[in-house]
Chains A and B, each alone.
Chain A
Amino acid sequence: MWWRIIRRSFLNQKTRQALSILSIVLGTSLVAALVNLSLDIPQKAGAQLQAYGANILILPQTSAAGDESYILEEDLASLEQGATAQSITAYLPYLYSQIEINGRKVVLAGTWLDAVPKVSPWWQVAGNWPTDAGNASETEALAGVQAAEKLGLKIGDLFSIKYGNNQRVLKVAGIVTSGAAEENQIFVSLKAAQQLTGLPDKVGLVQVNARSSSESLEQLAMSIEQQIPGTEVRVVGQIARAEKQVLSKVQLLMGLVAGLILLASGLVILSTMTTTILERTKEIGLMKALGASNRLIVGFYGTELGIISLGGGVFGYLLGYMLAQFVGQRVFSAAVSPSWLAFLAALAVSVMVIFVGSAPPLYRAMKVDPALTLLREE
């Protein structure tokens, strides 16, 4: 009989129950979406902030005498192994030297040209990126826009460079704009630079893009120092500290917005449920008049509310997850990972709020004798 009553309560009061469930689904979907997002967004924002470039710099330890020192290129392979590899998204070695072009001093930089966009995505290249052809008679190069202007170089031009007694002919494959030092430099493949300067397998510094969280960056820097002998590894303060600051703001913002929405949803659900229960006071009065015990009544309404809140909570979470995905895809073009916390939050909100909202009027109805709700003095 008990289940029959509950079943009937849902089947024969479809509009009312549907409205209650609807308001719960809506409220909890918002909460679930926001919780999901606020857990996920900081990580996505962090990935976005990777576009600011290298946050770790590997430099060779300089001797007390101040001679030029280098890092061995082959040692860099250890960056791809073990725990450090998981934190590093990309790295880029550079070898700098001063060359002469038409009698003018210019900085030549050798690097892994195909890996540059991963570490320095802001480079704007007109023309083409050089192809990494080691020993060809015309080595392709990138010319910084200011250097090109001042040397009168255009895309496709050939020019010769001198380093000590070595000479080389380079071809301008593209021109790079960045607003910084690169604009005054010439870029070739690392191998070509090493050949020209007679420093095979040597590298002057390495830029590293690592996943953030600044405490772990310091630790990462130390473990790299241990992994590659003879290095000094720095956490680039400009990038790392600012990132930390910005991310904490984003996290705080998302958290507060989530809290705001949690509160709002809770209140709206509360007012809907309270309204519903108030209206059913007559029913409660009747049951009490018929002799139903308090335990039975609490059992009925509790079960009904439980079904509504659980059902509403589950659907709300699913809807919320879809909403979070929509936002994640639209804004970051990435999937939002489902979160147990969001699921629990959605359920918690719906269950808690419903019971909190229903408890006072139910309690009142329980305490007050049904005579006052049912009968009137005539």
Chain B
Amino acid sequence: MTFRLLKETLWHRKRRVSLVLLAITVGASLTTALLSVSTNIAGKMAEELRSYGANIAVTPRSERIEIDVGGAVYSPPAGASYIDERELVRLKTIFWQNNILGFVPSLSTQVRAGENRLPVALTGTWFDKEVNLAAGTIIRTGFNDETPIREDISLRTGAKSLNSWWQVTGNWPGDEDSETVLVGTSLARRLQIQAGDTLPVEYESNRYTFKIAGLLNTGGFEDDQIIASLPLVQKLLGIPYGASRVMVSAMVEPKEKLAPEIRNKKPEEMTPREYEIWYCSPIVEAVSKQIEEVITGSQARPIRQIAEAEGAFLVKIEWLIALITLIALTVSILGVMATLHTAILERRGEIGLMKALGAQRTQIATLFVLEAGALGISGGILGYFGGSLLAKLIGRQVFNSVIVPDPSFLLIAMLLALVISLLGSGIPVWQATRVAPIKLMKGQ
């Protein structure tokens, strides 16, 4: 009988029921969508912030004091140490291999360019190189675990992808090119040359003629330099596979996410357990450590300019979205409960009638609770799917990637909707059952 009543109630009062269902579904959708966004926002923003470029600088450990003027590192060949270009593929075998988005080695020296033999920096680098990991290469999967990979992995990396702000008019040189170069726009102006021209260059009494494939504009020090492929400069200096610096772009999260006890300690001061946690956290310091472990003779240092600003920004964005989510949730919950309360108010006559017919308070309450429950669960499920769609929409529009809500949100949405509808309907129903039936039936 109860279910028949329930069915009748829900069916015949379609319009009112659908309004209540709408309110619950909207609340649940909002909950799901906002929760999905707020749990994903850090990762998505971190990916966006990679457009600022590398956040880790890898250099050879040496006694030499770098002469870094105008953004180019001068390394006179005698007695200098270099990073082996061939080892860079190991960056994709570290514990955080999936967080390494790209790496770009470079090698600089000073040459004389043009007819007036102007002293100019020449830097060799990767433009758009394919790096391959053969199947069977061992990668680190846990603090103490290793696995060979099953298929070949290849990765494209280079200035083109890492330095998104590099603007080239003309063409990019190839990564094995030994003759074509890019010239910074300021330098081109000074030398009065343009793309397609040839450029005479002199290094240690050797003369070379390069062809200018394009002009490079970055707004930084590259505008005063000649940029060439890495092998070109390596040949010039006679340092095969050598690089004096590698810039690495890694997806990391703010250090604030670490437990406070660990956050402020130096790795040397940590207990083994703490060290393991630190090592396996996606923070820039841990990734740097892992890089030093695989590249011989290297030191990897977070580029504080990028890493600090990134970390601070991410923390703020996460807080922002979290607070907005919290506020929106609270307000929607209250709003939905107000709607439910209003819906019950108009059904007081029904409640009075039931009481007049002899129903007990608990029987009446049960009927309404079941109805509220059914609406709550349906609203929760519908809301979950609605919210997932909304979250996907936001993900695609803002980040061009997918935001997928955690499946546990389905349960959360259902439970939340259930609780809200039980409370929102239940309380006024219980109150109404206390009033004399005749008053209820008269609409009081």
Could you tell me which A residues sit within 8 Å of B by CB distance? 15-16, 19-20, 22-23, 26-27, 29-30, 33-34, 37, 41, 45, 48-49, 51-53, 57, 59, 62, 64-66, 96, 98, 104-107, 120-124, 146-147, 150-151, 177-181, 183-185, 232, 234-242, 245-246, 249-250, 252-253, 256-257, 260-261, 263-265, 267-272, 274-276, 278-279, 323, 326-327, 330-332
Contact = CB atoms under 8 A, between A and B. Distances in A.
A276 B20 CA distance: 12
Given A106-B65, A181-B66, A323-B327, A23 B338 contact: yes
Interface string B20-40: 101100110110011001000
Interface stretch (B147-155, B216-224, B359-367): B216-224
B78 to A, nearest CB: 13
B313 interface: yes
Given A150-B65, A249-B398, A327-B327, A271 B304 contact: no
Given A23-B339, A181-B71, A184-B65, 5 more contacts: A236-B219, A237-B167, A237-B218, A246-B45, A246-B51
A72 B398 CA distance: 45
Interface string B377-406: 000000000000010011001110000000
A237 B328 CA distance: 38
A270 B18 CA distance: 12
Contacts of B313: 45, 48-49, 51, 246
A278 B319 contact: no
B427 interface: no
B220 A238 contact: yes
B116 interface: yes
A257 B307 contact: no
Contact of A272 (B27, B219, B342): B342
6 contacts: A29-B331, A45-B316, A107-B69, A249-B398, A260-B390, A272-B23
B51 A242 contact: yes
A32 to B, nearest CB: 11
B interface secondary structure, majority: helix
A279 B346 contact: yes
Nearest to B72: A181
B342 A20 contact: yes
B305 A53 contact: yes
Contacts of B390: 260
Interface stretch (B158-166, B174-182, B350-358): B158-166
A242 B52 contact: yes
Contacts of B68: 107, 181, 184-185
B219 A327 contact: no
A213 to B, nearest CB: 15
Contacts of B319: 330-331
B65 A180 contact: no
B336 interface: yes
6 smallest beta-carbon distances between A and B, as pairs: A237-B165, A237-B219, A279-B346, A181-B68, A122-B304, A23-B338
A264 B26 CA distance: 6
B320 A327 contact: yes
Nearest to B189: A232
Contact of A64 (B116, B217, B393): B116
B64 interface: yes
Interface string B398-440: 1100000000000000000000000000000000000000000
B220 A237 contact: yes
Contacts of A269: 335
Contact of A33 (B316, B317, B327): B327
B394 A246 contact: no
Nearest to A120: B305
A241 B164 contact: yes
Interface of B: 15-16, 19-20, 22-23, 26-27, 29-30, 33-34, 37, 41, 45, 48-49, 51-53, 56-57, 63-69, 71, 116, 118-119, 163-167, 186, 190, 217-220, 223, 301-309, 312-313, 316-317, 319-321, 323-324, 327-328, 331-332, 334-336, 338-339, 341-343, 345-346, 390, 393-394, 397-399
A275 B19 contact: yes
Q: Pick from A27, A98, A183, A267 the residue with the most CB of B within 10 Å.
A: A267
B57 A179 contact: yes
Contacts of A272: 23, 335, 338-339, 342
Contact of B316 (A48, A252, A267, A275): A48
B342 A275 contact: yes
B164 A242 contact: yes
B329 to A, nearest CB: 10
A116 B331 CA distance: 45
A122 B308 contact: yes
Contacts of A22: 334, 338
Contacts of B306: 52
B283 to A, nearest CB: 14
Given A52-B52, A245-B51, A253 B66 contact: no
B150 to A, nearest CB: 36
A53 B304 CA distance: 11
A30 B302 contact: no
Q: Pick from B29, B49, B67, B324 the residue with the most CB of A within 10 Å.
A: B324
Q: Pick from A15, A57, A151, A327 the residue with the most CB of B within 10 Å.
A: A327
Contacts of A64: 116, 190
Contacts of A62: 186, 190
Given A249-B398, A261-B30, A234 B223 contact: yes
A15 B320 CA distance: 35
A59 B185 CA distance: 14
A53 B327 CA distance: 33
B118 A66 contact: yes
Given A96-B69, A107-B68, A242-B51, A179 B37 contact: no
B327 A235 contact: no
Contacts of A250: 317
A275 B425 CA distance: 14
A69 B341 CA distance: 77
Nearest to A252: B398
Given A49-B313, A264-B26, A30 B328 contact: yes
Nearest to A257: B324
A180 B305 contact: yes
A16 to B, nearest CB: 6
Contacts of A178: 303-305
Contacts of B69: 96, 98, 107
Given A66-B116, A146-B66, A268-B27, A179 B302 contact: yes
B245 to A, nearest CB: 10
A163 to B, nearest CB: 15
B171 to A, nearest CB: 19
Given A30-B331, A51-B312, A179-B301, A268 B23 contact: yes
A274 B19 contact: yes
Contacts of B29: 264
B163 A238 contact: yes
